[in-house]
């Protein structure tokens, strides 16, 4: 049933894509479930320095898989970046995504996997495509850049000012 509800909301999300065009300029508050710990994760726990990247993804999405794999391959370059992968899919789907495309992400200290049991992310962040990445300055909580539907990790590196 949860899967059907998620499928419905994702369908609505793509049907009304023009309505969901504007990424929030400042990081909104949120609370999601942690996939690998029995606890809630809220925006108060975000770091206060570096960059915050929220990656709204679907484990079965090819672009999401490519971006996840690219982030995993380049983890050493993301020293000052905290990643939060947010999905509306249950843990078995997240496990499949990690095991097949991005194994290094699971044990990375700067990566967390979060579960949105409802439609909170869509309502607050208004994504247009999968994956939808939101880069925020951790100190000011101001949006640096929004990458919508992007699967090239080099564009993420560029948006973060990371070279080489």
Tell me the pLDDT tens digit for each residue of 77-119: 999 999 999 999 999 999 999 999 999 999 999 999 999 999 9
What would the DSSP string read from start to end of 13-72? HHHTGGGG----SB----EEEESSSSSEEEGGGS-SSSEEEEEE--TT-HHHHHHHHHHH
Of 53 and 38, more confident: 53
* Structural domains of the chain sorted by starting position, each given as residue range(s) with its CATH number in brackets: 2-159 (3.40.30.10)
Per-residue pLDDT band for 46 (boundaries 50, 70, 90) equals very high
Closest CA to 153 of 128, 127, 133: 133
CA 9, distance to chain mean position in Å, is 17
Average pLDDT of the chain is: 91
What pLDDT, on a 0 to 100 scale, did the predictor assign at position 3? 58
Residue 84, helix vs strand vs coil: strand
What pLDDT, on a 0 to 100 scale, did the predictor assign at position 163? 85
**pLDDT, tens only, 55-78:** 999 999 999 999 999 999 999 999
CB count within 10 Å of CB 27 equals: 20
What pLDDT, on a 0 to 100 scale, did the predictor assign at position 19? 47
Angle at 87 between CA 84 and CA 91, to 5 degrees: 100
Distance of alpha carbon 10 from alpha carbon 13, whole angstroms: 5
What pLDDT, on a 0 to 100 scale, did the predictor assign at position 7? 52
């Amino acid at each position: 049933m949860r899967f059907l509800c998620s499928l419905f909301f994702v369908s609505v999300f793509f049907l009304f894509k023009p309505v969901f065009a504007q990424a929030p300029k400042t990081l909104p508050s949120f609370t999601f479930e942690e996939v690998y710990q029995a606890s809630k994760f809220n925006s108060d726990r975000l770091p206060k320095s570096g960059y915050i990247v929220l990656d709204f993804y679907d484990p079965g999405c090819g672009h999401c898989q490519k971006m996840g794999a690219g982030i995993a391959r380049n983890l050493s370059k993301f020293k000052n970046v905290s990643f939060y992968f947010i999905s509306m899919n249950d843990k078995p789907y997240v496990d499949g995504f990690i095991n097949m495309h991005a194994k290094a992400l699971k044990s990375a200290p700067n990566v967390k996997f979060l579960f949105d049991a409802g439609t909170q992310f869509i309502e607050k962040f208004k994504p247009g495509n999968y994956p939808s990445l939101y880069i925020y300055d951790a100190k000011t909580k101001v949006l640096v850049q929004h990458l919508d539907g992007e699967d090239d990790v080099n564009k993420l590196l560029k948006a973060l000012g990371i070279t080489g």
